[in-house]
Structures are given as C-alpha cells and as structure tokens.
A and B are shown apart, each in its own frame.
Chain A
Amino acid sequence: MKVSYTWLKRYVPELPEASMLEDVFTQHLCEVESVEKKSEEEFLFDLGILPNRAHDLLSHEGVARELSGLLGLPYKDPNTYVAPEVRKTILQITVESELCRRYMGRIVRGVTVGPSPEWLVQALTSIGQRSINTIVDATNLVMFDCGQPTHAFDLQKISGEALTIRAARSGEKMTTLGGVSLGNSDAVGDHTGSEIELTESNLVIADAAGVLALAGVKGGNKAEVDTTTTDIVIEVANFDPVSVRKTARKNNLLTESAKRFENDLSPELATHAMHKLSSLIAKLCPEAQFEECIDIYPNPHAVREVSFSLDAVSRILGMKIEPEQAEKILMQYGYSYTRADDRMSTDSAGAHADTVFVLQVPPLRLDLVGTHDIAEEFGRIIGYDAIEPELLIRLNMPQKNEAYEHMRAARQKLLSEGYREVMTYSFAKKGKISVARGAKGKEFLRTNLSDGLREAYERNRLNAPLLGLSEIKLFEIGTVFPTEKIENTEGRGEVGGVEEIHVAYVDKKELVEKTVEEFSHNLPPVTADAIETGEKNNAGEAFDKKDFSHEQESDSKTETFVPWSIYPFISRDIAVWVTDTESEKKLETILATFAQTYCVRPPQMFDTFSKDGRTSVAFRLVFQAMDRTLTDSEVETWFAELVSLIAKETTMEIR
C-alpha cells in the first residue's frame, strides 16, 4: 500500500526523516517494498501491510497512529470539521442480509460536480491515484485517509428514494463504472465498464429497478456520479469479509474497497468516516444541503478487553519486560488499561510475582485477541533484536526415522559406486493421479523415477565430452505415486498409502528401479557407530570408512557455483606419434596452453597404443563459448593453427 510521507506528517508533525522511517517500518512493523523520492519533502512508501494488520493500517491515519505510538510522538488530527445543518429525510434503506453489518446513508442535495481543487488532486496523485471529479475524489480521499471505503450514488438515477441491501438474484446483471480496475482505483473513466452476471452469493445495493452496486466492491454505472449530478446519496457501510472477497475475486475486481473489507474492517470506523466525508463535501460544495443520516447497525461491536500477564508475555518472547516498560508502551499508544501488581504466576520455575494488565482493545485492532497477540505487540515494538539467543539442548533420545535411514544407506551405496545424483520433476506426461490446472505435459504425478532418469541420462550422455566422462552413471531417490486410490479420510486421518519412495539408477548397461526399502534391504546401517566398528550386515559386508568421505568431506562453505554455457560444443580429436618422453611433455604443454585459451576443459587423453615400436597418444579437445554457438570454420581455423604449431615446435608426426 502506497503512503505519502507528507500526508503522514500532517498527523504526526514530529515525524523523523523519511530515510529513518524505512528502518522503523522494517524492524517494527512490516516490509517496505519500495521508497520513491518525489521531491525534497515528499517520499512515497510502498508498505507490505500484513493481513493481520489490514484492519487498521490500510490508511494514512492508521499508519500515522501506529508511528505515533511506536516512536512516542504526538498525534493530532489537523483537519477542521464542518458540521452542516441537517434536514429531515425521506430516504429509505432496507437491509435484507446479515452480510451487511452496518449501513449509513445520507442524501446531500445541491452538490456541484466538476474538477476538484488543486489540493485534492495533489493528495490523490501523491499516492498514485487519479482525480475524477469532486464527489468521487472526496469518497476516495476519505478511504485513503481513514481506511473506510465510501461511495456516492446519483440520487436522480435511483428509482424512488429507497435503497435495499440484499443478495443478488440469479441472472441479474450490472455494468461496472468505468474500466475494470485491478486495485488502482474505483475510478470512473473514459473506458467502458464491463457487464457482470450475478449470482445469489453476491451482495448488492439495489433500487426498485435493479442493481446499483456490488456491495463493498464496485459501483455500477447506472447511478454514476458525473457532471450532471446535483443530488447524491453517500454510503458509508460495512460488509462481511468472506462475501466481499469471494465476489471480488470471482469477478476479477480486487478494488481498493474490496481489499479493505476482505480482511475484516470494524464497523465502528464508519462513524468517523461519515463525519469526515460529510465535512469534506460541505467544504467542497458550500451550497449543499444535508439530510439526516440513516444508520442501520443492528449489532454494534462491544468494547473488548484483553487481560494479559506480563510474566507470560516475557516468557513467550524469552526476554524480561518490566512493568514500567510495558506501561510506557501502552501510554505511548494512548490505550486505556488497568494494571494490577502483586499477582502470582506459576511456571516450571515455581511461583513468582507478576503484573497483570487489562487492556481495552481499540475497536480497529481486531487482531488483538489473546496473550500471544500482546506478545507480538511487545516483541515488535521493543524490537526482536533485544532478544538474546539461548541455546537449549534437549537430548530426548529422538526416534530413528526409518525412511530417512533407508534413503541415506541407498545414497551412500550408490555414491561409493560412482553414481551421480540428480533430482527430476515430480510432474509427468502420464500417470494415475492428476492435478487441476496443471502445466501442459505436467498434469500427472509421476508413477516412476525411470522415465525422468532416462531423459536425464540422454541429456548427460550427449554432454559426455564436455564432462570428460567415459561413462554416465546417474541415480535419483524420490517419491513416486504409483496408484490412483486415494483414501478420502474427510480431512483428519492419515493419507492412505498413495506414495512410495523409490531408488533408481542408470548406467550404460541397465536402468534399475526399486523401492528404497527393497534396495537398502541388505545394506549395513549408516551410523557413526557403524563406521567405527565396521558393523556388518547378515551377508557379512560392511561399509568401508572411506565410503563415507562424501558425508564428512565437503567443506562446501566457501565454494562458488561455476555456471556452464547453454550453447552447443564442438569436439575435435588429435592423435600424435610421440618419439620420446621429452617431446611428449612438450606436446602436452602445447595442448594445455592451447586449451586454456580456446577450450572449455583441459585436453583429455583418451587413447594410446603402440605399433611397430611407435606410440600414439590421442587427445580430445572440446570447444564451447559462453555467449554464442561456435561455427565449424572458427574451430577449424584454431585447430589448423594448433597443428602448425605442433609441427613447428616439435618433430612429431600428427596422425
């Protein structure tokens, strides 16, 4: 969510510099996805507000209030409020669904709808929003200011002066305002809206003739506020989060409004927002006449209290919090609380003195429910850096994991026999169990390792010259899904024997696949003891100590990965009749130097034989570039140079 530094500073005048704020957020609140400097005074923060704080932090007031508490700085509302004179109303509002938890509606007559004043345009553009017109901008500003989505309908376009909040009827339709927005704004624009077909699971605002808006998500174009509008109905309401979320996602309309409702918003916020919006409209349209506000709020939120023991909080965090420190924090945030000292707490260390606080939870803090939530508050506010690491060693005599032991024994055995490990994809072209919305050619869960291993073998075999290997030997240990019967255990039971762990290995002779139990059946156990005592299995074999060099050996901490080229290689062989050891050494030097510049690996001697008293040695040279495909002619040229160099520097004959 984008917040403007200057906007925050209006509420917290002593706010530190923007550069310091980034660290404050990161260490004590949430991730800062980006910071953009717009001018000497203005910075735009993109904050990654977490789902459990979406109730109170998706607004400038919310973030400002949090910063004020966190940093112990005064918070003040700089806005002046106009309380307009109020007339009686004939507006009727009927709420037919429990999914609407509160609805405040009010008629305002005689508004002027046109371009917004500069300051309003500025405020919206500072956070990346567009200005539409005075009324629409006012509704958006209130939302970005205090977190409560608000809306306005053109009264003249509503059939009768009555609104109903109800479930849509199957087949009802609505065309959205402006373009389909993906969270940028609920803006009316030059784009055409899209028509949506509704179902009974969608909550709507409707008049006698049909649907006017998707509750909490987006308005329809029927009662759109434009420059011809003179009378409006303003809406400040609260809707069930699950309903809003489903409706928004189903229709691909994750608007700013939907984002705020879907994480649950307290209906208590509506009062402040209606006050703000009315005052704002009164200032923008001084001639406007306000009618009384209708407020349907059947189940007002009761004030909640959370009681917590400071001792419990300290023990969860692993750092001692003194009562004075706790109280300072509660006061900084302006919370109402009571404190009771000389309570007793018992834990594994015995009984000891404790302080118990009872906190009146601010209405917007729907996330503060129990001691664990309070622990998180204190933890992040004090800063997790203050927690000193403690190492607790519990020698519980943990049970051995049979499956893991089998896998380990299998891996060790194959490594000791020169096999190289690969891991392939669990998705395959064919199989018994398939996934929904899978990628093409990857819809099935593999029933074996062999298919994937065979492909890997081919790919590596083609690369053999590059690898300098005479033979490719591979293995994989992994999960396969050979059957299709999945026990439907209604969610709580064990998933019935669907998958197996297999071992598969391949070399130039064969490809073998077994279950890991079958494979490691006769292998000795892999334990530290087994290494020391040379423990034998039934067949009298034991692992040699040096076979475990793989497990202990790699001091892999300082090594870096060396990438390889994706372009094809060319290999050329050169065979030379060597005359004596000295010239053979010379030849090797020439080849090594040549290879260092032009080749991908050192020259590899792959053949030698003697005939009629002469010895021939043959080397393979492999050429490859990191950035392109080498051409045959390039390689030919270099090779020719090499040949002439050998002829020049030695007297040996090239075959």
Chain B
Amino acid sequence: MGSMDMQKPDLDNTPDVDTFSTKGSQHPLSILMQEAYQALTPLGFEIASGPELEDQWHNFDALNVPKDHPARDMQDTFYIKNSPEHVLRTHATSTTARMLKKAADKKLTQAAYVSIGKVFRNEATDATHEMQFFQIDGCMIGEDISLAHMKGVLLELYRHVLGSDVEIEFRPSFFPFTEPSVEVHAKFNGRWLEMMGGGMIHPQVLKNAGYDPEKIRGFAFGGGLDRIAMIKWNIPDVRLFYAGDVRLNQF
C-alpha cells in the first residue's frame, strides 16, 4: 500500500460501539447483577433491597460491631453531618441485618436473601479503590444450615458468573458478624483470587435479629461486585464504572 513508512500510531483497539446501532447497551455491573440474581433466585433466594443512607444500628451494632471496637475501624465510614446516628452504608450486610429481623418478625424458620447495591467508603481513590462501589450480600438461614451449604451455593454462583470450570476454596478469616469466618477464593483463568468474605452468622447477630441461635443457624456472604466484574472481564480500573463513558458497555 505504497510507502507509508512514517511513524504509525499505536494501534488503538477502541471497542466498536455499534455503528449507527439503535440497540441500547447495558452497564457491565447491571449484567453481572442480573447474572448473580439468575444464579441465586432458582435456589430460593429472595431479592432484597435496603437503604444506602443507613443507621448505625443496622450497619454496625446489629452485626456485632460494637462502638469503640477496632473492627469498626476496618472500614472507612462516611458519617453524615448533623446526623450522628446515620452513615452511608459501608457494606450491603446492613440489608442482610434488616432481612434477618423481618424474617424473625414473621417467625420464618427458613429463608434466603440476596441484595446488590451501592456501598460507600471514605478512602482515597485509585485503580482499585473507589468512594462508591457495588456489593452483593446474602444469607440463608434454617434449622440445619452449614458451611457445606454455603460452599454449594457459592460454587453455583461463581460457576454461573465466571464459567463452569471455576473452583472455590475457603480460607480462615475474621468478621465480627460471622463465626466461623472465611475468605472465599476462586480459581479463574489459572489464578486463585480473593472474591468475598462470609461464614456462619454469629449467634449474637441472630439474637439481635430476634432469633434463638440454638434453634436457627445460617451463613452469610458478601463482597464487591466491581471486583468480580474487573476479574471476569479484565477491566483495569474501578473508576471506569462511574465515569459515564459508554465505551464501557462492551458486553
């Protein structure tokens, strides 16, 4: 093609956002959210929602994170000016706390809930940290629920979302609201990566909801949806999710 030997631009592979296409396109986190719900609703999980502007009871105290405890520092919290009892929720587990209370009020002896929503952390932003991101949080309670069931459910979830050859494992961890507590790691594309945390719901959390922990047990799990999306699709920077650039909608 002639002598076009001058300096060529680095091949930019801008994703082809449907030329003149009249089709809409979804945000990757919406796609992932639906996949997660599609994995869990057939197992009996009810989709739950809760407020982003939470009270300290549901964000901390109900979850066995008492005032002045170092665990309360494990997250950088956005407090609300002129409203000392309220925070922007730091995790979606606050919704799980609400659902447990509702279930106890209705005297349910078995239930399962999952919620996905925005959570907030007051920390400096960079490629892997944002002030806002999405979390998925869920729980399953009953008279005979165990960590084996948690493994079964999460394996289903990750298979659905990351592909059928994914493997998962539990590693020891600590959260004030679970005991035993585990970190959930998944093997994807040959690498083991931390995905989320969880464990058996702490007896105190069950009591706070109104359950007798001798009669009812359950597991809870939760983690960042953004992180799963970044791993699944190899998206390098979490800030891309909120930049409003439609080139993100590639899937």
Contacts and interface: CB of A to CB of B under 8 A. Distances in A.
Contact of B249 (A29, A372, A421, A637): A421
Interface string A372-384: 1101100110001
Nearest to A439: B131
Q: What class of interface size applies to chain B in its complex with A?
A: 35 or more
Interface in A607-655: 623-627, 630, 634, 637-638, 641, 644-645, 648
B193 interface: no
B250 A559 contact: yes
Given A396-B46, A433-B80, A481-B53, A455 B24 contact: no
Contacts of A319: 148
B86 to A, nearest CB: 6
A388 B148 contact: yes
B139 to A, nearest CB: 12
A285 B194 CA distance: 50
B117 to A, nearest CB: 8
Contacts of A459: 243-245
A393 B42 contact: yes
A598 B246 contact: no
A627 B10 contact: yes
B147 A317 contact: yes
Given A426-B52, A426-B132, A564-B12, A384 B170 contact: yes
A432 to B, nearest CB: 11
B209 to A, nearest CB: 12
Given A51-B70, A317-B148, A564-B15, A598 B47 contact: no
A372 B85 contact: no
A420 B6 CA distance: 38
Interface string B231-247: 01111100001111111
B244 A384 contact: no
A384 B131 contact: no
A543 to B, nearest CB: 14
Interface string B38-55: 000111111111011111
Contacts of A401: 46-49
A394 B2 contact: no
Contact of B233 (A246, A561, A600, A638): A561
Interface string B1-38: 11010111111111111111111111101110011000
Contacts of A453: 244
Given A421-B25, A630-B9, A460 B245 contact: yes
Given A401-B46, A641-B2, A390 B12 contact: no
Interface stretch (A34-42, A86-94, A114-122, A462-470): A462-470
A302 interface: no
Most chain B beta carbons < 10 A, residue from A315, A557, A561, A563: A561
Contact of B172 (A30, A393, A439, A556): A30
A6 interface: no
B217 A499 contact: no
A423 B144 contact: no
A393 B43 contact: yes
Contact of B180 (A380, A391, A433, A597): A380
A601 B61 CA distance: 54
A564 B122 CA distance: 28
B251 A556 contact: yes
Contact of A379 (B54, B83, B147, B203): B147
A387 B112 contact: no
Contact of A559 (B155, B233, B243): B233
A564 B249 CA distance: 12
A467 B247 contact: yes
Interface string A282-312: 0000000000000000000000000000000
Interface in A486-539: 486, 488-493, 495, 498-499
B52 A499 contact: yes
Contacts of A372: 179-180, 200, 202-203
A421 B171 contact: no
Nearest to A26: B171
B172 A380 contact: yes
A314 B212 CA distance: 19
B217 to A, nearest CB: 7
Contact of A396 (B22, B111, B153): B111
B68 interface: yes
Interface in A52-73: 52-53
Contacts of B2: 641, 644-645, 648
B88 interface: yes
Given A435-B79, A495-B86, A389 B23 contact: no
A623 B42 contact: no
Interface string B204-233: 000000000000010000000000000011
A238 B202 CA distance: 29
Interface stretch (A12-20, A268-276, A408-416): A408-416
A354 B153 CA distance: 28
Contact of B244 (A27, A28, A317, A455): A455
A217 interface: no
B115 to A, nearest CB: 9
A625 B9 contact: yes
Interface string B77-114: 01111010110100000000000000000000011100
Contacts of A388: 148, 151
Interface in B149-175: 149, 151-153, 155-156, 162-163, 169-174
A441 interface: no
Given A375-B200, A384-B169, A417 B24 contact: yes
B246 A467 contact: yes
Contacts of A455: 244
B38 to A, nearest CB: 9
B53 A347 contact: no
Interface string A220-256: 0000000000000000000000100110000000000
Interface of B: 1-2, 4, 6-27, 29-31, 34-35, 41-49, 51-57, 61, 68, 70-71, 74, 78-81, 83, 85-86, 88, 110-112, 118, 120, 122, 131-132, 140, 142-149, 151-153, 155-156, 162-163, 169-174, 179-183, 200, 202-203, 217, 232-236, 241-247, 249-251
11 contacts: A246-B68, A348-B143, A370-B203, A379-B180, A393-B42, A418-B24, A468-B17, A481-B53, A560-B233, A624-B12, A634-B7
Q: Which 9 pairs show the lowest CB-CB distances between chains A and B?
A: A318-B148, A456-B244, A318-B146, A398-B46, A415-B24, A376-B180, A394-B44, A384-B170, A50-B174
